[in-house]
Each structure stands twice: as C-alpha cells, then as structure tokens.
Amino acid sequence: MSAYVPGEQPQDGGWVKLNTNENPYPPSPAVVRAVREALGDDGSSLRLYPSPDSSPLRAAAAEAHAFPSSRVVAGNGSDDLLNLLIRAYAGPGRPVGMLDPSYSLYPVLAAAQDAPVVRVPIGPDFRLDAAAVAASGAALFFLTNPNAPLGAGFPAAEIASLASRFPGLLVVDEAYAAFAEEDCIALAKEMPNVVVTRTLSKGHALAGLRAGYALCPAEVADVLHRVRDSYNLDRLAQAAAAAALRDAGWLAHNVGLIKRTRTRMLHELTAMGWRCVTPCGNFVLTEPASARRAASRETSAHAFEHLRSRRILVRRFPGHPLTEKGLRVSVGTDAEADAFLAAAREWTALD
C-alpha cells in the first residue's frame, strides 16, 4: 500500500498558503475560552482521561443538527471516522466504493483493510452517475459532497434517490458542507443506510485540533462505538469542538467572508481566461491559460511553478483527466487572494 500524501506544509514563514483548504480566519473566541477552562490554571485536568465517548462534542453536534445524540459518533477528525467505517463494514470480498476523482485517503484506508476499491467515474459534466453507484457492488460507498478536488456539489435530492437504490452503506462525506447551499443531514435522520460525516477542520477553523463526528443510523452508531478507541478524542479537542459547534453566528460570519472572497476569485479568474469549476467548497479548481499556452497538464505545471516562485502555494492533481489541467486554490483572506490573483495575472501577461 502507499501512504496518503498531504499538501506541502512549509515550516518557514513568508508563504501565502493556499494548498490545503485551511480556514484563513481564527476559530470562535468561545473555543479559546473553552480550551482554557478545560485546561485549568495548572493543567491538572490533563492527568485525567477525557469523556470516553466524547459526550460534550456529541451533545453539541446533536443540538446543532437536531439529531439524536445517541446516533452521533465523535472521531479524531473525520478521517478517523472514515477509517472506523472501513474497519467495520469493508474488507476482503466487501469492496469500498468512491467517486473518481475524490478524496485520495479512501483507497489508502481500504488497502490497510485489504478491501478492494471500486471507482465510479465522474463525467466531464460533473454529474453524479447514481445508476453506476447503485450497481457498483460496494458494501460501503463514500460520496464526497461537495466533491474534492473538483469543488462541484451534487443535489441532495439526487443523493436521496441514490440512497433508496443503493443496497450498501452510503457515507456522505460533508467536509466542505459549510460552504455549500444544501446538505444531507435530513437523509442521515431518515434513511437506514446513510451516514453523514463532518469535520471541524474547515468551516470551524480547527484543523490543528483534529475533531469530527458522524451522524448515523442507530445500528451503525452502535457498531462504530464497538470498534473505535475508547478515548479517541482528547479533552481539549472535545471542549473546543463543542464550543465551536455552539457558536453558529461565528461560523456563519466566517463562511460568509470566505464565500464572498470565493466569488471574487471566480470572477477575476474567469475574466483572465482561466476556466473554473463552479465552486461549492472553500477552494476553486481553475485551469490556467494564456495567449501562448492553452490549458494543459504542462501549462498547469508551469503556472504552479510561477506561483511557487512568488511563494504562493496551491495544489495540483495531475493524475486524473478532470484535474490534470487545473490548480486547486484554497480561498484565503482578501489579502491572500489579492497576492494570488496578482501573481496569476503576472503569469498570464508574461506568458
């Protein structure tokens, strides 16, 4: 098996870092207060184990989504929950399904469980092929919505129709749902084969604390509690995540800022002649082009190196026809977007 390859994480300063879809704004002030309270004056709380089932986080998630807390399972980031789902429901003879392209961690986790992987291609129109998913033979299917790395979203009504036809467990990975117009929480409430996973890393700006949760049918929640580590989320992360979930106003404000900057980036890149996928996450997939260079894998690499020479990090996915011509650019602050757009205009004019 091969390991998951994360985006570059430079250790020196001076970079405009738009390559790993981190939130450019700090988390809610309530998060900082909750961490300080959980830590205490002398840190003595850290000598004690945390809640073994992350009850503070589960209660906050239940409140946020009007969802039964008994059907919420917390994890060390949503990646932990993806791993638990594969551990419980996949293996030799029980394939893991995924859209192609999609999150590259899925096949890594499947390989560790010796589970075959079934890939259902996304067409050039970025439509969901529900019939192909339903007939995939997967015991467990990951549907990333909005899709990463494309940024395209699939309508909840189409996913509901798919879930009614799919014979296995359908996991809707909603890492970027805070930036989209709709989600599938209602499906997790109503349908016996739908799980929705969420992370606190993106919309809530807690990538450094590793917290996530799954909204599950009761039977699935019971199974995941059996296979997870009994202390899979530490005390400070539980407190921080619960506080973040309860500050809906802060989330809405930060998401609003990001969506506004995303719209500006989309308009300016399109005006430059760079083709963009309509974005539903906190990033834009765009294909650079200039008067001399048509969009291509080589053009993408050339623009990537130009941006890097200006200490601007974005990300390439050259291994798939739908992404090989593109650059995935995280939405940063307005100042970071200005720096990226200036470098992009410079490349377009020089080349």
For 274-307, the pLDDT digits (tens) are: 999 999 999 999 999 999 999 999 999 999 999 9
- Tokens matching residue 124: 């050039």
- Give residue limits of the domains in the chain: 16-26+249-350, 29-247
Q: Decide: helix, strand or coil at residue 324.
A: coil
Place of tokens 């009994």: 230
Which conformational region is residue 151 in: left (phi greater than 0), alpha (psi within -120 to 50 degrees), or beta? Answer: left
- Laid out side by side, the sheet with 140-144 consists of 72-75, 212-215, 194-199, 169-173, 140-144, 96-100, 117-121
Average pLDDT over residues 81-105: 97
Q: 65-79 pLDDT, tens per residue?
A: 999 999 999 999 999
Q: Which CATH architecture has domain 16-26+249-350?
A: Alpha-Beta Complex (3.90)
Rounded Cα distance, 118 and 95, in Å: 7
Place of tokens 């239940």: 62
The amino acid at 268: E
Q: 147-195 pLDDT, tens per residue?
A: 999 999 999 999 999 999 999 999 999 999 999 999 999 999 999 999 9
Q: Which CATH class is domain 29-247?
A: alpha beta
Rounded Cα distance, 339 and 311, in Å: 10
**What is the share, in percent, of the chain residues with pLDDT greater than 70?**
100
